[in-house]
Amino acid sequence: MLTAIVGINWGDEGKGRMVDLLSSDYEIICRYQGGNNAGHTVINDKGKFVLNLLPSGILRETTVNIMGNGMVIDLEHLVGEMKALTDRGIKITPDNLKISDKAIICMPYHKMQDIMEEERLADKKFGSTRRGIAPVYADKYMKKGLRMEDLLHLDSIEEKVHDIVEWKNITVTGYGHEPVDPAAMMEWLRKFGSVLAPFVTDVSSYLYSAVEENKNIMFEAQLGALRDIDFGIYPYTSSSQTLAAFAPIGAGIPGVPLNSTIGIMKAYSTCVGEGPFTAEMFGEEAEKLRAAGGEYGAATGRPRRVGPFDIPASRYGVKVQGATCIALTKLDVLSYLDEIPVCVAYEVDGVKTTVFPTGERLNRAKPVIEYKKGFGDVSNCRTYDSLPDAAKEYIRYLEEAVQCPIRYVSVGAGRDEYIELA
C-alpha cells in the first residue's frame, strides 16, 4: 500500500498529526519535497514535537524514515533537529533514517539570499520563511547545487564549491553584501556533513525493493495544494511540487503509482504568508478563532491568518490532489461558536461563482458567507455516534461540498483524540 498524506489548502492543515496517527500501519514514512520551511507538530505519549525536516514517522520506533531526492536539506538545521530528538530519547540511526544521495543541500548563502530579497521587497514580499527555500530550488534548476552525495566525497569537491560560490557572489554582492568565502562553506560542509554522511544512501534502490516486498509506504507532504509551484496561488507559493502526484518522483521511485491519497483539511481555514485569502477574518472575530485554534506557524511562530471553511478553495484542493478520502482536523476548535460561518462561494466582478479562480480574478474575489448551526464541545467524543447531531451535519455538509468522503475527524491534538468514520 502506497499512501500520500497531503494538504488540501494553504498548509498547516495538521499533516504531521495524521502521519503520526496513521504511521502505525506503515513500515516506511517518506518526505518527498520542501525543506525546513515545514512545521509539523506532533503530540503523543512522548510529548510535543515540532518537526521541520525529519519525517513525522521518526517518532515511531517501528518505521523507517526517508528524506527523498525532492527535498532541500539544511545540514546545520537537520543536525540540530536530530540532536533535539535524541536528547529526548528518540532513536535515530542509519537503520531508521535514510537520506537520498540526490537531495539538494541548502547552503548558508541560500538563507542569506532569501533574507536579503525579502528585505529588498519590503511591503511587496511574498511571505518567505527566510530559510533559503526559493534560492536553493532555483540553484537546483540552474544546475548549481550541491547534493547530499557530495558529503561522501568532501575531499574532491573543493573546486566545485569554489566555482559555485564564485557564481553565487555575483548575486550576493549585488545586494551590497560581502562576498561568500568558499573556505568557510567547505568548513560548514565538513562540520555538519560528517554527522550526516552515514545516513546518506541510494534511497531509490531501497524503496524499489520495499515496493517489490509489498511494504506499506506513506508519503508525507509539506504545505498544501494552494502553495504548489504550478497549481497554487502563484507567485505566493512554495518552490516545490506539493501535490500527491509528485510523491513517487520526489521520493525516488518515479513510475510507481499511489494506491490512495489522504487529503488533510481543517474545519476552518488558515493561511501563513502573503497572497489572496478570500475568506479571511479580521479584528476580534479573527482573534477569537486564532486563540481557540492556537494558530501560530510551527516553523516561523507567525500568527496565522484565519477564516471560515472555504468551499471553493477546498474543492479545488481536493481535485488537484486527487484525494481519495479526507481527514478533517480541529473540529473541536469550533466548539465556542453558536453559528459557524462557511464561505460557500466567491463573488467576482458582481458574479457569484463556486469555481476557484486564479490570477487577477482571485485578487478581486469576495467571499459569500453562510452560517451553520454550532455544536458545542466535541473534545471527548471518540465515535461518530457520540457526536452531537449538529456536528454530524457539519461533517456531512463539508463532505458533500468538497465531493470527497471524510474518513477521519480529529477532536484534539493527542494521538487518541480522533474519530474514524465508517
Chain Cα centroid distance, residue 177: 31
Q: Which residues are catalytic?
A: 12, 40
For strand 269-271 and strand 305-307, is the pairing parallel, antiparallel, or unpaired? Answer: antiparallel
Distance between CA 328 and CA 372 in Å, rounded? 17
Tell me the helices (H) and strands (E) count for the chain, helix number first. Answer: 12, 20
Separation between Cα atoms, residue 249 and residue 70, nearest integer Å: 7
d(CA 322, CA 316): 10
* Residue 315 contacts residue 222 (beta carbons within 8 Å): no
* Alpha-carbon distances, residue 315 vs 124, 303, 369 (angstroms): 29, 25, 16
Residue whose grid cell is 530550488: 137
At 79, list the grid cell: 543536525
DSSP 209-268: HHHHTT--EEEEEEEEGGG-TTTSSTTSS-SS--SGGGHHHHHT-TTPPPSEEEEEEESS
Rg (CA), the chain: 22
* Cis ω for the linkage preceding 341 (within 30 of 0): no
DSSP E strands in 46-118: the ranges are 47-51, 64-67, 72-73, 97-100, 104-105
CA–chain centroid gap for 294, Å, is 18
Q: Is there a contact between 295 and 281 (Cβ–Cβ < 8 Å)? A: no
In angstroms, the Cα distances linking 394 to 9, 292, 326, 331, 410 are 18, 18, 14, 10, 14
Q: How far apart, in Å, are the Cα atoms of 288 and each of 18, 145, 306, 307, 359? A: 25, 44, 10, 11, 31
- Bridge partners of 4, per DSSP, are 219, 261
With H, G, I as helix, E, B as strand and everything else as coil, classify residue 46.
Answer: coil
Q: Which three cell numbers stand for residue 164?
A: 559555485
